[in-house]
Amino acid sequence: MEECCSTKPKKKEQHAHDHSEGDGHDHSHDTGDKTPFQMFLPAIISFLLLLIGIALDNYIKTEWFTGWVRLVWYLAAYIPVGFPVLKEAYESIIHGDVFSEFFLMGIATVGAFAIGEYPEGVAVMLFYSVGEVFQGMAVSRAKGNIKALLDQRPDEVTVIEGSQPKIIKAKETKIGDIIQLKPGEKLALDGKLMTESASFNTAALTGESKPDTKTKGETVLAGMINMNSIALVKVNTAYEDSKLSKILEMVQNATAQKAPTELFIRKFAKVYTPIVVFLAIGICLLPYFFVSDYQFRDWLYRALIFLVISCPCALVISIPLGYFGGIGAASRNGILFKGSNFLDSIAEIQNVVMDKTGTMTEGVFKVQEVNIKPEFNKDEILKLVNVLESKSTHPVATAIHNYAGEIDHAIPLENVEEIAGHGLKASVNGKELLVGNFKLMDKFKISYDTNHSNIVYTLIAIAYDQKFAGYITIADSIKSDAKETVENLHRMGVKATMLSGDKSTVVKYVADQLGIDNAFGDLLPEDKVNKVKEIKAKNQTVAFVGDGVNDAPVVALSDVGIAMGGLGSDATIETADVVIQDDKPSKIPMAINIGKQTKKIVWQNIVLAFAVKAVVLALGAGGLATMWEAVFADVGVAMLAILNAVRIQRMKFS
């Protein structure tokens, strides 16, 4: 069986940058449980006092609104929005981060008060605070969407004790307990279905709303919703170890894996902010030596404008939000990214290398023909093959078991050995039994008269007592969206390559049906590694897509490891970089598209922020921009960037 499931240590070492590492801009924007009115209340108070103050200054001329009365009035307008920012600035300085955005806003607005520009000082802080609230709401909404999407577990479950139903907390449920699930109820823990059959809505796990019918003994997972009749489920996994718990934890931790763009912006902000502060000091003081009519107040005002404009808030908030939006959009479509770095990586993919079985085909084999030579007893040989194949987990073994019936455990198998890329070998009553591909026959020098290269089916060759006994043909059906997948990849300019351990004629047949660029069969795991190395040698990026546990070397080489069948194997969730939860290959180009759109939005924000700031900084330094332009360059650009970043969560990718 072919598959993708190992993660490259080099990728996993991109640890999250702790908030205390001195970048100071990485504040949480946590809105807690506050209502929008509570969040905006300080800004509303400040805004009303500011409006009255401006009216008293310009429209309702009064003698009393001067001197200290005017100062106190504007201070009262400033404190509701200014105090939290000044407090953050102080705490950042205490923790060794002097040049934070809070510090920039603090000295700019306090400086405005120092030169008597009270309304502008209040206005700058007011708009900055409103921007912070909007940012907090956007971040919380993005996180809330993902949590609501994935954390579908109910708090209580109904367990059967004796013959009586009893409601208990889901966390108190023990392995072996029987849960009673009524129609419309969500399953809280993973388990095995005890009822003959039941239909489940699996949208929480796969993004696929079509009902999935399970039969007795099959695995059902936390988050699935029972559709029709009462079902009984025997719990086989602890609450915290359920598939959904792992998925939820993975997505919530996804932002810890920072994308290179994100890491660069953080490092840039750490260097950029102190430079801006010293430039502002220079703008204020240096003209004294070069300008004949130097006015300290005018140049201080220009320096303060320069500080407000230079605040890097738009970049530092909108870029992580853009990546988080991408992770959320992917989750909503049943695609799980382990981190924002993989959104960046997948956007650059030039080659998708895929397995055949279980990735582009259903992985559900059916026996087509049993061709056993006359000198052998067909039923006897089938019994031997059935019992030997029972030692394998390959889908071929299931097909043979379904065809041959019950396994005869009385058959004395000895020295069972799996030969990678070839098949199985064992001894029965002192005679050698070989079951596998024709390479296995060649390896053990078994002569055969079958021209197997012309047969467009998977072939299982059999040898018993050093003689070729015949073969079984097995067919696997192509997934309904496989052809569309390859077409979409080609539209994106991505090449598709199929690598398989299956025989070359079968692989070529499937590849031709799907329009795949290159296809190679009869490959051992090391052959696959060499094929991927050949692609990498051309300086091209590779994503590897698989569904099993034995292609770790190929995944280690690939830039992005994509696991199909996330619901089937815990190992895939643990180790793949990207997990496609519903086995649909059409999610491969969708994942690439989400990566591309996320990167596009992030770069739009970077260009927007730098372009606007560069223009207004130049105008501010030259005395052509006021505090109002400065407010737009900081808060306005931040708001535009945030709205752009949130846009990805509303995009349709299907």
Using the predicted structure, report yes or no on whether residue 585 has a pLDDT greater than 80: yes
What integer pLDDT is reported at residue 251 of this predicted model?
65
Mean pLDDT lowest among 195-199, 229-233, 297-301, 393-397: 393-397
Evaluate if residue 570 carries a pLDDT over 80: no
Q: How many C-beta atoms lie closer than 10 Å to residue 282's C-beta?
A: 13
Sheet hosting strand 467-478, strand order edge to edge: 361-372, 467-478, 458-464, 431-436, 423-428, 413-419
d(CA 631, CA 637): 9
Is the pLDDT reported for residue 18 higher than 70? no
- Mean pLDDT, residues 65-69 taken together: 88
In this predicted model, which residue has the larger pLDDT, 136 or 282?
A: 282
* Helices and strands in the chain, H and E counts: 22, 22
- Within a domain: 110: no
Mean pLDDT over residues 407-436, rounded?
90
Q: What is the mean pLDDT of residues 255-264?
A: 70
Q: At 115, is the pLDDT very low, low, confident or very high (cuts 50, 70, 90)?
A: confident
Question: What's at 556, amino acid-wise?
Answer: A
Indicate if the pLDDT at residue 29 is higher than 60: no
Amino acid 381: pLDDT: 94
Cβ atoms of residues 275 and 582 within 8 Å: no
- Would you say 373 and 470 are in contact if contact means Cβ atoms under 8 Å apart? yes
pLDDT at 235: 93
User: Distance between CA atoms of 343 and 597, rounded to whole angstroms?
Assistant: 9
pLDDT value at 258 more than 80:
no
- Euclidean distance between CA atoms 50 and 122, whole angstroms: 7
The mean per-residue pLDDT over the stretch 435-448 comes to: 93
Band of residue 21 on the pLDDT scale cut at 50, 70, 90: very low
> Looking at residue 143, what is its pLDDT?
65
The catalytic position among 26, 97, 355, 502 is 355
pLDDT higher than threshold 50 for residue 174: yes
* Within-domain flag for 442: yes
Mean local confidence (pLDDT), 409-432: 89
577 is catalytic: no
Q: What pLDDT was estimated at residue 433?
A: 95
Q: Would you place residue 380 in the very low, low, confident or very high pLDDT band (cuts 50, 70, 90)?
A: very high
Which residue did the predictor score with more confidence, 176 or 365? 176
Q: What is the rounded distance in angstroms from the CA atom of residue 319 to the CA atom of residue 645?
A: 7
In the predicted model, what is the mean pLDDT of residues 616-642?
77
The torsion angle over the Cα atoms of residues 327, 331, 337 and 339, rounded to 10 degrees, is: 40
Which 3 state secondary structure label does DSSP give 200? Answer: strand
Residue 157 near residue 167 (C-beta atoms within 8 A): yes
Average pLDDT, rounded, for the chain: 82
Strand partners, 579: 336, 563
Please state the domain count of the chain: 1
Phi, psi of 95 (to 5 degrees): -90, 15
State residue 489's pLDDT score.
Answer: 96
* pLDDT at residue 551, rounded to an integer: 63
Q: Is the pLDDT of residue 242 over 70?
A: yes
Neighbour-count burial for 410-435, b at 16+ CB within 10 Å, e otherwise: ebebeeeeeeebbbbbbebeeebbbb
What confidence tier does 30 reach under pLDDT thresholds 50, 70, 90?
Answer: low
* For residue 14, pLDDT beyond 50: no
Any domain includes 433: yes
Within a domain: residue 370?
yes
Per-residue pLDDT of 124-149, as tens digits, reads 888 878 877 876 776 676 666 556 65
379 found inside a domain:
yes
The pLDDT, as a whole number, for residue 340 is: 84
Checking if the pLDDT of 597 tops 50, the result is yes
**In contact, 434 and 446? CB cutoff 8 Å:** yes
Show the 3-state SS of 368-404: EEEEECCCCCHHHHHHHHHHHHCCCCCHHHHHHHHHH
**In the 8-state DSSP scheme, what is residue 60?**
S
Within 182-341, strands assigned E span 191-193, 197-201, 212-215, 219-220, 225-226, 231-235, 335-337
Determine the pLDDT at residue 610.
83
What's the token pair of residue 530?
């060499």
Q: Does residue 84 sit within a domain?
A: no
Please name the amino acid found at residue 2.
Answer: E
- The CATH number of residue 446's host domain is 3.40.1110.10
Least confident of 217-221, 629-633, 646-650: 629-633
Q: Range of 473's domain?
A: 363-477
- Within 536-636, strands assigned E span 542-546, 560-564, 578-580
Answer whether residue 619 is part of any domain: no
Q: In this predicted structure, which of 257-271, 435-449, 544-558, 565-579 has the lowest mean pLDDT?
A: 565-579
Residue 285 lies in a domain: no
Above 70 in pLDDT, residue 8?
no
Spatial separation of the C-alpha atoms in residues 430 and 407, rounded to whole Å:
20
Check residue 148 and give its pLDDT: 60
Confidence (pLDDT) at 1: 38
Q: What is the mean pLDDT of residues 470-496?
A: 93
pLDDT computed for residue 11 by the predictor = 39
pLDDT at 594: 95
Is residue 26 predicted with pLDDT exceeding 50? no
Higher pLDDT, 24 or 35: 35
From the CB of residue 129, how many other CB atoms can be counted at a distance below 10 Å?
23
Residue 531: pLDDT above 60?
Answer: yes
- For the segment 583-597, the average pLDDT, to the nearest whole number, is 93
Helices of type H across 225-259: 243-252
Q: What's this model's pTM, rounded to 2 decimal places?
A: 0.69
- 254 band by pLDDT with thresholds 50, 70 and 90: low
Location of structure tokens 């080489």: 557
Name the least confident of 36-40, 263-267, 367-371, 514-518.
263-267
The mean pLDDT of 20-44, rounded to a whole number, is 64
Amino acid at 526: E
